[in-house]
Amino acid sequence: MTPKERAVAALNLQTPDMVPTFELEFQLAEEMFGRPLFGAQFSEENQRKMSRKEKDRAIYEEAEYTAEVYSKLEYSIIPAHGYELNDPNDLALYHRCLREIVGDTVMLGSHGDGTFAIPDGNEMYEFAYRMADDPEGLKAEAQKRADAAIEHNKWLQENGIDCLLLCSDYCYNNGPFLSPQNFGEFIQPYLYQIIDAARKDGLYTIKHTDGNIMPILDQLVECNPHALHSLDPMAGVDIKKVKELVGDKVCLCGNVHCAALQTGTEQDVTDSAEYCLTYGKPGGGYIFCTSNVPFKGMDPKRYQLVLDIWKRMRMY
């Protein structure tokens, strides 16, 4: 099977020839492959100095390097965010170049959420007051954000993206920032709309949130995403339990302990990765990855250890 075929099988709750892998982002390209993705040449200043021809060439070369990095990692989904490309035309070119290079062998993913996420400390009280004092106004804003996300996701699909990574965080380690009742009022209906529209446009959807999702797990599944990510073990989310509860309804992604990758022992990392594959893999519907991302500052040997365990245990 091609990497994309493996992802499609897993996202459709089927069993591929091997467990696919990917990450929401990959921040260790320089440490593992010699230079970062979208390095200094894509600073705002450098981009302003480029002629149109120079920028087109730089974008194509970056797409080539992106494809090379993710091919070596054997990802089934390339996180093609292109954060540094502020001009939508440049981002569209990057996506088209990537698609030209990889063909239809790998999925291309990009952010596509528009729902409310955990407010920062300066906005939390305001959000709470609005729920109490102006619930209809807050819902109107939620609808506006959902409509904008749906429109943006159509644009992504038209420019080569086939998988949405829906990255609004809802949960702390001890549970969601809203009660399940309020989540069902101010977030869940709008998440459903975004996912439903994406499905109708032929896009796959992976819903990401860190933290303890268990109090709202049923509501997330009812939104009908193809997959849930990250199944955060630092918040006590156990992939074995989640697989038992909803593994027949939604593909599961993640659960490798990111804190262990940074501060734990090699045995901690090994135990976490092996646990995920042992309980996520059976029956298909599982994509192997960390519970967040391989982040800058992480020892690349730790992430390589995770990949080595995946290669040892990935075959069905």
Mean pLDDT rounded to a whole number for the chain: 97
Q: Measured at the alpha carbon of residue 138, what is the angle toward residues 132 and 143, in degrees to the nearest 5? A: 150
pLDDT band at residue 294 under the 50/70/90 scheme = very high
* pLDDT in the model for residue 304: 98
* pLDDT in the model for residue 284: 98
pLDDT band at residue 115 under the 50/70/90 scheme = very high
Q: Which amino acid is at 282?
A: P
Average of per-residue pLDDT across 174-178: 97
Q: Is the pLDDT of residue 150 over 90?
A: yes
Residue ranges of domains in the chain, CATH in brackets: 3-29+108-313 (3.20.20.210)
Average of per-residue pLDDT across 192-220: 98
In this prediction the pTM is 0.98
Average of per-residue pLDDT across 215-220: 98
Residue with tokens 């730089």: 58
* pLDDT in the model for residue 239: 98
Q: Measured at the alpha carbon of residue 255, what is the angle toward residues 252 and 261, in degrees to the nearest 5? A: 150
* pLDDT in the model for residue 206: 98
Average of per-residue pLDDT across 9-33: 98
Strand partners, 62: none
* pLDDT in the model for residue 178: 97
Tell me 235's DSSP state.
G
pLDDT band at residue 151 under the 50/70/90 scheme = very high
* pLDDT in the model for residue 84: 96
Number of H helices and E strands in the chain, helices first, is 14, 9
Rg (CA), the chain: 19
- CA nearest 289: which of 231, 207, 225? 231
Percentage, residues of the chain above pLDDT 90: 99
Rounded to whole angstroms, the Cα distance separating 141 from 262 reads 38
Average of per-residue pLDDT across 79-107: 97
CA distances for 171 relative to 119, 215, 290, 295, 297, angstroms: 11, 10, 17, 20, 24
- CA nearest 153: which of 211, 201, 221, 209? 201
* pLDDT in the model for residue 67: 98
Q: Write out pLDDT tens, residues 258-292.
A: 999 999 999 999 999 999 999 999 999 999 999 99
pLDDT band at residue 121 under the 50/70/90 scheme = confident
Residue 170 is encoded by which pair of tokens?
């809802």
